[in-house]
Amino acid sequence: MHSILLATHSVVRYFLLLVLIIVIVRSFLGWMNRSSYTKMDDRLSLGLFILTHTQLLLGLLLFFISPLIIFSGAAMGDRVARYWLVEHNTGMILAITLITIARISSKKLKEGAFRHKRMFSLNAIALLIILVMIGLSHRGFFSITF
């Protein structure tokens, strides 16, 4: 069960990153060109929202069944255990919150350029957080060591 969830969580990550980058690029171009917020922009935003929350659910399931998660004070002394118990979850929940706020708050704006600006700024910050968290995991395309 754990290996299937982990593989699914890893695959969904790449789809989420792809859609997030597409949304950021389209939002930046829409903001700079002062173009209207189209039905395609809304669909991409909805797709990103769905992928993000699917990833959250998969992550929550993994959190409770993963052998890397140690629910004890000793976990704070182990760099790897602390990362998976606290740091990864905190960073990813922050990114998910930003993506959710971008979707919900941009729907309240009428002007297309303002909607694009809101989507760009919040999703770009979320992408930065996600990339840092992936890097700190020492998995994926790159890793960061502090």
Enumerate the domain spans of the chain.
Answer: 2-136
Q: What is the pLDDT of residue 138?
A: 72
Cα separation, 60 vs 20, in Å, equals: 21
What class, spelled out in words, does domain 2-136 have in CATH?
mainly alpha
Cα separation, 91 vs 83, in Å, equals: 10
Q: What's the pLDDT band for 52 if we cut at 50, 70, 90?
A: very high
Q: What is the pTM of this model?
A: 0.88
Residues 6+ apart with CB under 8 A from 113: 30, 31, 34, 35
Q: What is the pLDDT of residue 85?
A: 82
By mean pLDDT, which of 5-14, 102-111, 113-122 is the weakest? 5-14
Give the mean pLDDT of the chain: 89
Q: What is the pLDDT of residue 73?
A: 78
Q: Is 43 exposed, middle or buried (0-12, 13-18, 19+ CB in 10 A)?
A: exposed
Sign of the CA dihedral with 44 first, then 46, 47, and 53 last: positive
What's the mean pLDDT in 90-114?
Answer: 94
Residue 121, both tokens:
């700024």
